[in-house]
Amino acid sequence: MYELNVLGTLRITQKLLSTLKQAPDGGTVLIVSSTAGIEPYEGGAGYCAS
């Protein structure tokens, strides 16, 4: 989960960085997340941490 949720977001942002910099307004990165990072649940440690 860490690989996908954290490193995946990092890698795709890095790949798009030059395009974002060339955008007229500098571009925007929007990351959609889960409430699990705020309200963890039993058995979800790996998901909640990522």
Neighbours of 12 (CB within 10 A): 11
Phi first, then psi: give them for residue 9, nearest 5 degrees.
-65, -45
Tell me the three state secondary structure of residue 34. Answer: coil
47 is known as an active-site residue: yes
**Which of the residues 5, 9, 36, 47 is marked catalytic?**
47
As annotated, the active-site residues are 47
